[in-house]
């Protein structure tokens, strides 16, 4: 009896993994959508294109996407230890703070 339950469970897991393995195109689409939420490589800092849509801050300043930026903000005293964000991005400590995406440059 116990052996048949284990065999049934193993078959169920195999079937589930097989079924979800058939969805790589959908997973790829999610990755593309996620990547488009970030600035393109080489975007000019301070430009409209320099925007992290996921975190609503300039991509060139997004410490959630680029952890290497954290020491820079800490060195300038622009850091909230409580929230793990630059003070200049911390809407919880600074509810009146407005972080606005720059406008598109006209061609």
Please write the tens of the pLDDT for every residue from 48-81: 999 999 999 999 999 999 999 999 999 999 999 9
Please, are residues 23 and 78 in contact by the beta-carbon 8 Å criterion?
no
Please list the residues that pair with 80 across neighbouring strands.
85
Put simply, whether the predicted model's pTM sits higher than 0.85 gets the answer: no
Please, are residues 71 and 17 in contact by the beta-carbon 8 Å criterion?
no
- Percentage above 70 pLDDT, the chain: 65
Give Cβ neighbours of residue 70 (< 8 Å, ≥ 6 apart). Answer: 63, 79
43: number of Cβ within 10 Å: 16
Please write the tens of the pLDDT for every residue from 34-43: 446 788 888 8
Please, are residues 99 and 89 in contact by the beta-carbon 8 Å criterion?
yes
Residue 57 three-state SS: strand
């Amino acid at each position: 009896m116990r052996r048949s339950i284990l065999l049934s469970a193993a078959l169920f897991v195999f079937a589930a993994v097989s079924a979800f393995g058939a969805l790589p195109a959908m997973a790829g689409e999610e990755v593309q959508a996620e990547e488009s939420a970030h600035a393109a490589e080489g975007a000019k800092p301070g430009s409209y294109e320099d925007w992290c849509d996921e975190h609503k801050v300039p991509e060139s300043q997004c410490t959630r996407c680029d952890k290497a930026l954290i020491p820079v903000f800490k060195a300038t005293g622009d850091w909230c230890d409580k929230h793990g964000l630059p003070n200049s991005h911390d809407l919880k400590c600074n509810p009146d703070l407005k972080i606005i995406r720059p406008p598109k440059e006209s061609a």
